[in-house]
Structure 1
């Protein structure tokens, strides 16, 4: 999957000479999916995770949250398996830290993503 390269903050990576780069990073694709809030992308409002409706809510279902996160990771074409998943929620601050390891082809990717509501 080809995409524009993003920097560590999620902004478009621009070189010192003003150039942008293309990447096929599976890790970046997964991080983007995990940071999509349901309904926020105007071209397809069905995409994303229902953070406001199901995840970062009082009395949220931890099993359902894990299921939603796992589905998003596996929705990236190259990912074949989620081998490790840890979700830490701070519902008072409405943040979620997702640590995962996934298999993509013969490689493993390991990342941590923080979602702020």
Structure 2
């Protein structure tokens, strides 16, 4: 069993009213790790420059190749510990709100996980 520190909705460490951190496991842990991976730019983390999504290289380019973008997201989700296979992947782009919505279904060690992650500029 793998555990992780719980993160809040704004991606900061989740603390209770006396300042104690909480732990998560199972499907919640896998979902959180996938979201953290999708929010990270490739090379952003100095301890592992292979971690993250190649946004500058493949996603945020003048004419992105949709198949390559989907393949990049599939590969990054598949690299998360506990994920065995990505069954379904969907990308929805909202140019007006500058939003990329990534929806996926993945087979994980905790069962089938279906999530929607909104990637946007704050």
Same fold, judged at TM 0.5 (above): yes
Q: Identify if the C-alpha distance between structure 1 residues 29 and 59 changes in structure 2 by more than 3 Å, giving closer, same or farther.
A: same
Partner of 1:16: 17
Q: TM-score, normalised by structure 1?
A: 0.87
Partner of 2:43: 39
Distance in 1 of aligned mates of 2:53 and 2:110:
27
Number of residue-to-residue matches in the alignment: 117
Q: TM-score, normalised by structure 2?
A: 0.84
Query: Does residue 59 of structure 2 align to residue 55 of structure 1?
Result: yes
In 2, are the aligned partners of 1:56 and 1:91 still within 8 Å (CA)? no
Match among 33, 37, 45 for residue 29 of structure 1: 33
- Unaligned runs of 5+ residues in structure 1 are none
Query: Does residue 12 of structure 2 align to residue 7 of structure 1?
Result: no
CA deviation after TM superposition for structure 1 residue 41, in Å: 0.7
Pairing of 1:54-93 with structure 2 (within 5 A)? 54-90=58-94
* Two-structure CA RMSD over aligned residues (Å): 1.8
